[in-house]
Amino acid sequence: MTLLFTESFDWTTTVAQLLRKWTSTSFSTTNSSTIGAYGATDNALRVLRDAGSFDYMNWLKGLGSSPSTLITGTRFKQDNIAVTSGVEYLDGSTIHVGWYSNTNGSISVRRGGAGGTILGTTVTGLLSSTVWSYIEFKATIHDTTGVVVLKVNGVEVLNLTNQDTRNGANAQVTSLQIYNIVANTVGTYWDDIYICDTNGAVNNDFLGDVAVKRLLPSGAGNSTDFTPSAGSNYACVDEAAVNDDTDYVQSTTVGHKDLYAFGDLPTGTWVIKGVAVNLQAKKPDAGSRTARALTRTGATDYEGGDLSVGIAYANLQTFFETNPNTGVAWTHSEVDGAEFGEKVQA
């Protein structure tokens, strides 16, 4: 299984909480990142300089692994394409390669950062101000046989082989960075992000133009072992924006499960590429505690891998890339009928 990360930007409205899922961000007090209803139907991340002239505002996501080939997809829009934004692949603090928007609507792939060596540039006019585009980027890091492929809205717009894509000692990618030069009152918007590598049998290449739809609990599921802070269990964990200790469920007992019915996907016929279950979880004090995410489908409970729980709330993400009951891709009705939840593992 190869999905490494998904981000809908629909689970919080604060930058501080967003950093539970992202590794770091660089911004000054005169810059702002906000999460709001900037997307077509739901929330997106907006980066905007609210005073002064130009500055940088980046969001970094550590992968927890170090593949030599990485694939990412992002929905992307700018109020004005006169400013440069892009996605960079890093090894530590070294920027190997990245794609960068240009003022004429083209996209360049560079080695070594936004001011680095241009490896290739697309035709002009691919990007327009105020128009969303879905940009996918695959790069293999190598000194001589590096590969770069770029797609916009599902169409290949750049394909480079035998490239020097390695800008540091290691031919690996350890993090992804959303790069923004932000200008006064000119917003850049990001949404529907996926990251995957080339391992596994599914999701090991471009996924195409995908939307990341967030679903929330809507009722009790097959197991209700945890103790709610008040009221019913599912109502303590169903907030569209996480509310931390305002309400919660908790348990000390190994093996306890909580499962919840979830709302349905939007009306339509959807091809499902995968499901990520996200827990906002913590343990209140020192000590060892692990959890697992659950899904219940086909009248059977299935568990993800062990999740280490810290003393502060963190976003713990588990992927069920295929339906564990069938071993093949989820169907729309299977997702609608599935329950999701958590378990005290150890």
Partner 1 sequence: MADEVRVTQIPVEVIGEGDILRVTQIPVEVTGLGDVLRISQIPVEVIGLSDLLRVSQIYAEVLIAVATEVRGIRWQVS
- From the list 57-65, 167-175, 183-191, 242-250, the region that binds partner 1 by CB under 8 A is 242-250
- Number of chain residues interacting with partner 1 (CB under 8 A): 71
For residue 250, state whether it binds partner 1 (rule: CB under 8 A): yes
> How many C-beta atoms surround the C-beta of residue 160 within 10 A?
16
- Residues within window 108-137 making contact with partner 1, judged by CB under 8 A: 134
CA distance 68 to 70: 7
Looking at the Cβ atoms of 169 and 286, the one nearer to partner 1 is 286
For residue 340, state whether it binds partner 1 (rule: CB under 8 A): yes
290, two tokens? 């692990």
> Is residue 136 a contact partner of residue 72, using CB atoms and an 8 Å limit?
yes
- From the list 29-37, 58-66, 137-145, 260-268, the region that binds partner 1 by CB under 8 A is 260-268
Q: How many CA atoms lie within 13 A of 101 on its CB side?
A: 30
> Looking at 285, 299, 327, 328, which residue binds partner 1 (CB under 8 A)?
285
- Residues within window 288-327 making contact with partner 1, judged by CB under 8 A: 289, 291, 309, 311, 313
Looking at the Cβ atoms of 169 and 245, the one nearer to partner 1 is 245
Q: How many residues does the chain have?
A: 346
For residue 251, state whether it binds partner 1 (rule: CB under 8 A): yes
Give the CA distances from residue 334 to residues 46, 56, 267, 300, in Å, rounded to whole numbers and listed in that order: 33, 43, 14, 13
- Residues within window 206-225 making contact with partner 1, judged by CB under 8 A: 207-217
For residue 59, state whether it binds partner 1 (rule: CB under 8 A): no
For residue 100, state whether it binds partner 1 (rule: CB under 8 A): no
Give the CA distances from residue 217 to residues 72, 202, 238, 249, 316, in Å, rounded to whole numbers and listed in that order: 28, 27, 5, 13, 17
Looking at the Cβ atoms of 160 and 314, the one nearer to partner 1 is 314
For residue 61, state whether it binds partner 1 (rule: CB under 8 A): no
Name the strand (E) or helix (H) holding 337: helix 332-337
> Is residue 23 a contact partner of residue 61, using CB atoms and an 8 Å limit?
yes
